[in-house]
Amino acid sequence: MTLLSRAGGRWWLAAALAIGLPSLSAQTLNVRPDPGGVRVSPATPQFLVGRQLDKLHNGASVSFAVQLTLLGASRTTALAGAAGRFAISFDLWEERFSVTRLGAARKSASHLSALEAETWCLDNLILPSGGLSPDSSFWVRLEVRPEEANESPPLGEDLAVTLARLVELFSRPPRLGETHKRADAGPFRLKDLH
């Protein structure tokens, strides 16, 4: 008899309440207009925390898969999406982060605080909003998963293959012990964004 059947299927609710759900705080996401789309930024560090931050402080580099989704008013229909992979490292002497966007559009930034590093990652993803009217309500979903070493594609991998990997990564349920952080922010209207 498994723990799930013995506990009547409610063990996960008790565990989530005891340790906190692995989610991002929607109140700490900022959404702003951009020509042809919207951009998202964190108001406080969201994913450079916990186990991943400990790894960085111990000298390891950590790769994250980040996905943004533009959702309709009901949050059931995806209208647009953007995804990317980012490698982050921490300079122990300067106590600053370096970030590299992986894939064909490879670029980097360094000497960043945790908030600046996360903002840099999200600034490199834009959600197209071309089909959205200024009066339509929409939501934005941010999902972040740290990648394990065996999940990372080779550095020279084709961009289409990388996008396929990101779709697979975010489509499957999190594995035991895996941190999958998610936040939905909204509702917003394009005409109200500044």
DSSP H or E run through 145: strand 137-147
**For residue 190, is it left (φ>0), alpha (ψ between -120 and 50) or beta?**
alpha
Q: Is residue 173 part of a domain?
A: yes
DSSP state of 167: H
Q: Are 52 and 32 spatial neighbours (Cβ–Cβ below 8 Å)? A: no
3 in any annotated domain = no
Domain of residue 44, residue span = 29-192
Q: Please state, in angstroms and rounded to a whole number, the distance separating the CA atoms of residues 89 and 109.
A: 11
Query: pLDDT truncated to tens, each residue of the chain (194 aa)?
Result: 333 333 443 333 333 333 333 444 446 688 998 888 999 988 787 788 888 899 999 999 999 999 999 999 988 889 999 999 999 999 999 999 999 999 877 899 999 999 999 999 999 999 998 788 889 899 999 999 888 654 444 444 544 445 455 555 545 565 555 566 788 888 999 988 87
- 175 assigned to some structural domain: yes
Residues 6+ apart with CB under 8 A from 61: 87, 88, 89
As a whole number of angstroms, the distance between CA 178 and CA 26 comes to 21
38 lies in a domain? yes
Q: Is residue 7 domain-resident? A: no
Task: Flag whether 165 is in a domain.
Answer: yes
Residue 135 within a domain = yes
Domain count, the chain: 1
Q: Residue 8 falls within a domain, yes or no? A: no
Give dist(CA 68, CA 47) in Å, integer: 14
Tokens of 25: 């705080």
